[in-house]
Structure 1
């Protein structure tokens, strides 16, 4: 496991939250990445769930690449002990760099930023801008309401079942990474191939 996805980008909170199961899940994911010899790509902070997963990977002698925009260096506590630290000029450039260098993406529980990153990267997949697997680690039912909303979007005709199934969901890191390894990239949407000139 992990051979086809050497670099995994993890979206997660810069806060710890108040559910210890989430911190535990972050550490478990970190250990699995190290066991698989996969590099962690993330947002470069040493605080919150972000800091937990990065430090756990580093303590286990794994590799961590952090990517952060210049302006956040003044506001976030940047982890200075990373394998590699990449500085970008903007949030958009940060996400673009994450997409470019990563082979897959996992969202742990987090806040607005985590959701924004998750939905942008899955929208890019839907539009055919990349073909990499995206996983949602549903720790202790954290994402149950979100998954219910996505199902409502399908029922109401705003999300196709094909696009809904682009998101791989599991409750454990190992199960999620297996699903991501088995992910088959969808064909580019027909409407993108149409000549509209």
Structure 2
């Protein structure tokens, strides 16, 4: 198989994977990011777990829908700009089609008691998947054994859960602290190298 066939195969797998994940995922960005991790880290071995966690952090702190942001990064990582375009198309086509169909029958969907029950049951599954993502992200923070990161995680949780602080504000504050920590560590490394 030459490079062109190999790239075509990767692009097709990328599109197909994103399409299926997007078509079969209910509950928003955190759910699909968790499923992307399972697909691209565990099943296809295209990305390391640490890199997927970085992608998750970037997608959460960037404007726009999480699945699309993650698709851009994963697609670019695999096949450059073409990969990004293919991955984004695979991600946006299913919800666009589904929402278009639902919008035609919105009144019927809204008032149908069976659909209401089905949506309620799906929420329970979505909550479980999001909880799984939270536990895995927390475990990775704990693995660093850095007091700064662990305390930031705890303070961010308390600020969000108990005081209703905006997630965007928390992300920006954590980003600022992370940049300051990076600068301090770089200066420390420079001093020890002298």
Q: Same fold (TM over 0.5)?
A: no
Higher normalized strand content (fraction of residues): 1
TM-score, normalised relative to structure 1? 0.30
Higher normalized helix content (fraction of residues): 2
